[in-house]
Amino acid sequence: MLIRSHHDGFQHPRSSEITPRQAYVRRRAWLQSLAGGAVAAALPVWAAGADRPGKLPALASVASQVPGASTMERVTAYADATQYNNYYEFGLDKGDPAKQAHALKTRPWTVKVEGLVQNPQTLDLDALLKLAPMEERIYRLRCVEGWSMVIPWVGYSLAELLRRVQPLGSARYVEFVTLADKTQMPGLRSGVLDWPYTEGLRLDEAMHPLSLLAFGMYGELLPPQNGAPLRLVVPWKYGFKSAKSIVAIRLTDKEPGTAWNKAARNEYGFYSNVNPDVPHPRWSQATERRIGEDGLFAKKRKTLLFNGYEAQVGQLYAGMDLKKFY
C-alpha cells in the first residue's frame, strides 16, 4: 500500500487524499507532528483499491464543504471508472471512450456563460480552474442502465460560477451544451443522438450546492473519457444528466430540450431523478449493480430515492408528482 512522504519541508497531507473516515486520523497525525511526534503519513483516499494513477496533473482540493455530500462507500477502482464509460461522441461501447478520447484537445478551451444573465462571460480553462476553491466530493453516480460507481470528484459547486454571471429574475432553467467536433469525435457519425449533446436543469437545481462542476477525479485532472476538461455532476439524477466536456452554459426562461429526451421522450424525462419506484418503460430501476462488485455472488444493491441524497434535495420537489415529472 502506498504511503506518501513529504520531502520538501513540512506539508500538510493533501486533503484530496483523505476520506471523511480518515479525516480525523489526518488531523491527529498533524497535531502529533506539530507536537514533535512521528511525521504524519496519510493513507491516500484510494487505499481501498483504486490507486492514484499519476498520469495527469494533480489537482489540489480540500475536503467537501457541503454537509452530507460525500458517501462513505468504497471508492470504485480508477481502472473501472476510466474504462467503463458512456460518452457516445466517442462510440457506443463502454470501452470506446477510453480507446478513442485520449487525443481530445482540452486546451485552449473556453466556456460561454450566456442568456438571461446580468454579466455574460466567456471564461477560459485557467480562469475556470481559479474561479473558486476546489473541493473533493465522493459521489455515487447511478446510470439509468442499472449500474453505479463511487467516484471522488474534484471541483466546486456550479452555483459559484452562476453567481458570478448574476442570473436575471426571469431565468428559470440552465442549459448545458457540450463539445461536438467531427474532427475529434468519431461517434458524431452515428445518429443515435441529436448532437451536440445537451442537458438541462431547473435554476434551483443548478444552484443547489450538490450540483458540481468537476474538473478532476481521484486527485487529478479529468481524463478525456470522463468529460475533460470540465463536466457537470448531479449526483441525485441519472448519470446522463451529468454532461461531459461543456462548452456553453445558457440561462433560459423555458425548459430546454435535452439529448436523451429528444431521442426517446417517453423513456427519459427532463427531471431524471433517481427513483426506484419509477421504472424505465423497459426495465426496473429498483436495484443497481455496483461496478467492481460483479462477481458470481455479488448481490445487487437497492437503488435509493434521489440516489441517497433525499435529505439534501428532496425539498426541491415538494408537492411534485415524481411519476409524472420523471
List of residues contacting Mo ion (CB under 5 A): 86, 143, 239-240
Question: How far apart, in whole angstroms, are the C-alpha atoms of residue 53 and residue 281?
Answer: 39
Smallest separation (angstroms) from Mo ion to the CB of 99: 19
Sign of the four-CA dihedral 159, 165, 170, 172:
negative
Q: Which is closer to ligand MTE, CB of 168 or CB of 263?
A: 263
Smallest separation (angstroms) from ligand MTE to the CB of 283: 15
143 binds ligand MTE (CB under 6 A): yes
Question: How far apart, in whole angstroms, are the C-alpha atoms of residue 19 and residue 246?
Answer: 28
Residues 197-226, mask of contacts with ligand MTE (x by CB under 6 A): x----------------------------x
Smallest separation (angstroms) from Mo ion to the CB of 186: 20
Question: How far apart, in whole angstroms, are the C-alpha atoms of residue 87 and residue 59?
Answer: 23
Closest residue to ligand MTE: CB criterion: 239
Question: How far apart, in whole angstroms, are the C-alpha atoms of residue 90 and residue 302?
Answer: 31
Of 224, 239, 89, the closest CA to residue 151 belongs to 239
| Cis peptide leading into residue 276 (ω within 30°) | no
The single residue among 19, 61, 86, 261 that binds ligand MTE, judged by CB under 6 A, is: 86
Phi, psi of 57 (to 5 degrees): -60, 140
Q: Which is closer to ligand MTE, CB of 34 or CB of 264?
A: 264
Within 13 Å, how many C-alpha atoms sit on residue 102's CB side? 9
Q: Which is closer to ligand MTE, CB of 244 or CB of 250?
A: 244
The single residue among 215, 240, 271, 326 that binds ligand MTE, judged by CB under 6 A, is: 240
Sign of the four-CA dihedral 298, 53, 181, 244:
positive
Cell of 264: 426517446
User: Which among 8-16, 46-54, 238-246, 296-304 is the span making contact with ligand MTE, rule CB under 6 A?
Assistant: 238-246
Smallest separation (angstroms) from ligand MTE to the CB of 262: 13
Farthest CA pair distance, the chain: 64
CB 16 within 8 A of CB 136: yes
Cell of 53: 494513477
Smallest separation (angstroms) from ligand MTE to the CB of 107: 18
Smallest separation (angstroms) from ligand MTE to the CB of 142: 8
The single residue among 46, 78, 88, 268 that binds ligand MTE, judged by CB under 6 A, is: 88
Interface with ligand MTE (CB under 6 A): 85-89, 141, 143, 178, 197, 226-227, 239-240, 242-245
